[in-house]
Amino acid sequence: MQFLLAFVVVAPLLGAAAALLPAPPGLKGKSPDQAVLRHGVTVTGVILLVTVALAAGFDHEHPSRMQATTDISWIKALDVRIHLGVDGISLPLLVLTALLTFLCALYSYFKMPQGPSPKAFVALLLVLEAGTLATFAVLDLVLFFLAFEMVLVPMYFLIARWGGGGRRAAAGKFILYTLLGSVVMLLGLLLIGIKAGTFDMVALATDNGRGLTTSVQVTAVLAIGLGLAVKTPMWPLHSWLPDAHTAAPTVGSVLLAGVLLKMGTYGFVRIALPIAPEGMHTLAPYLAAFAAAGIVYGSLACLALARPGAKGDLKRLIAYSSVGHMGFVLLGIATLTPTGVNGALFANIAHGLITGLLFFLVGALKDRYGTADLDTLAGATGAALYGRAPRLGALLAFAAVASLGLPGLAGFWGEMLALFAAFDPAEGLNRAAYLVFMALGGLGTLLTAAYLLMVVRRVCMGGPRPAGEPELADVQPYELAAWTPLVALTVLAGLWPAVLLGLTDPAVQQLLAGGTQ
């Protein structure tokens, strides 16, 4: 198990280095480009298989215990250690990351985004995977920061070199916002490590803030929270996200929404909640207020983009929907209750599956129509996907109703648990304020249903194909291969939520109790 987790973290970096080397003559296939794309599929596929083996070997009877741990001294002077481990909180995120990266590599093998050499594309994709997997596996604050920052450079170049219109400005905005947030976060992490005398996240969580004064905890949570909130993204620190998604290639948008946003909320759960509980208790109402504002704001922005004549970009609309959905995750965390934190972790996974599928589908629409402009897609009588490309239309409608939180699908449970937790927050929090936040969250669910159903009506329904208009290609086999796992897992998580909640709940209970249970 130790070897498997270490392999999952290190193998993408080795694969990235190998992608830049010339392909052996016998493996080139039709061209060197095809060989390096096949290399990307192979490496990410092996990492996915190893991650699944790690999940299969995980002791599900004790999900609150750190497993597959590695603890090696790295920088003795600072007591920084290469400390890896996985529990019920991080395991689902590791599997989600490995799955989405493999599906993106598979999709790119058949539909490579326009841009420079595929060698650099595959290498960047693998470095991005390495940074993300390491973020969910490391148990040292310094290593967490390094892994957290490691993903910025590959995502910047994926947007700037393989993106669409406005890609350089969008990539610049992405790197500027996230770097500035990370500088502040680093100060908070160093403050905790210096005051507590250790950077070990397990030891800090077990101590549960007893070695830190309240003022230190509040300062640390404020600094760390700002950096995490930018990556989440929390309103009003979200403005980099719509531009980045609009300009990014399809696989870039899938990984940005499906994986990178989860790094911010994971940091709140893994670091802020157990290490600085008094600081979190002080700032939780403000976090909940921003989360509730983000839920309503994201939904209203989507409604404005979805209305006829607004010239709204469908990718941009889904990006704004992420602001609302991640607001539910932050609201659940801000309740400081097991119910809320479990709901937040469930919503994290559900958002990764559903929004990843949505960005795949919008990318396919853009490939077919040459645009993601909603007015152009709707046209005079609607794109009429149900009649012209029924499988594509059905998948878009499925993803939309999953995203709006239809019971029986994955999007329902996390948001429902977050609202339940807001009804009864942790002791000492202002219940009247949280009832207001719950009401705003409920309003957000209604607005979410409104704009997603509007999108389905405008894009999927309509009149017959006008004479002379070329036929629209339906779902291709490679698209079906990339999207089917996301559909199946969305249904599985919706019908059998205990699979995920059974992993997270014991770990959350122990985390909130300071490792004493």
User: What is the band of 403 on the pLDDT scale with cuts at 50, 70, 90?
Assistant: very high
Give the model confidence (pLDDT) of 77-127 as tens digits.
777 888 899 999 999 999 999 999 999 999 999 888 887 888 899 999 999
Confidence at residue 176, expressed as pLDDT on a 0 to 100 scale: 87
Give the model confidence (pLDDT) of 430-485 as tens digits.
999 999 999 999 999 999 999 999 989 888 886 665 655 666 778 889 999 999 99
Write down the mean pLDDT value for the chain.
88
Q: Which long-range contacts (CB under 8 A, 24 or more apart) does 377-380 make?
A: 377/314, 377/458, 377/459, 378/308, 378/458, 378/459, 378/462, 379/462
To which H or E segment does residue 72 belong? strand 67-75
**Average pLDDT estimate for 496-502:** 91
Give the model confidence (pLDDT) of 329-374 as tens digits.
999 999 999 999 999 999 999 999 999 999 999 998 888 888 888 8
Instruction: Specify whether the backbone of 464 is left (phi greater than 0), alpha (psi in -120 to 50) or beta.
Output: beta
Q: Which two tokens stand for residue 282?
A: 């002080």
Give the global pTM: 0.92
Which residues are within 8 A (CB) of 418 and not within 5 positions of it... i.e. 6 or more apart?
328, 329, 331, 332, 335, 340, 343, 344, 347, 441
To which H or E segment does residue 68 belong? strand 67-75
d(CA 170, CA 158): 11
**Average pLDDT estimate for 20-34:** 66
pLDDT of 32 above 80 = no
Which residue is listed with tokens 């600081």? 279
Q: What is the DSSP letter of 73?
A: E
3-class SS string, 318-336: HHHHHHHHHHHHHHHHHCC
Q: Residue 67: beta bridge partners? A: 86
d(CA 200, CA 216): 17
**Average pLDDT estimate for 159-184:** 87
Do the beta carbons of residue 334 and residue 287 sit within 8 Å? Answer: yes
Handedness of CA 455, 457, 461, 463 (dihedral sign): negative
Q: Which long-range contacts (CB under 8 A, 24 or more apart) does 271-274 make?
A: 271/141, 271/144, 271/189, 271/201, 271/224, 272/221, 272/224, 272/225, 272/228, 273/333, 273/336, 273/341, 273/511, 273/512, 274/204, 274/205, 274/208, 274/511, 274/512, 274/514, 274/515
Helices within 370-427 (DSSP H only): 374-378, 385-388, 390-403, 410-423
3-class SS string, 238-280: CCHHHHHHHHCCHHHHHHHHHHHHHHHHHHHHHHHHHHCHHHH
pLDDT of 164 above 70 = yes
Give the model confidence (pLDDT) of 192-215 as tens digits.
988 988 888 988 888 887 888 899
**Average pLDDT estimate for 495-505:** 91
Angle between helices 2-19 and 32-57 (to 10 degrees): 170
Q: What is the DSSP letter of 465?
A: P
Confidence at residue 388, expressed as pLDDT on a 0 to 100 scale: 80
Mode of pairing for the β-strands spanning 80-86 and 67-75: antiparallel
Do the beta carbons of residue 202 and residue 139 sit within 8 Å? Answer: yes
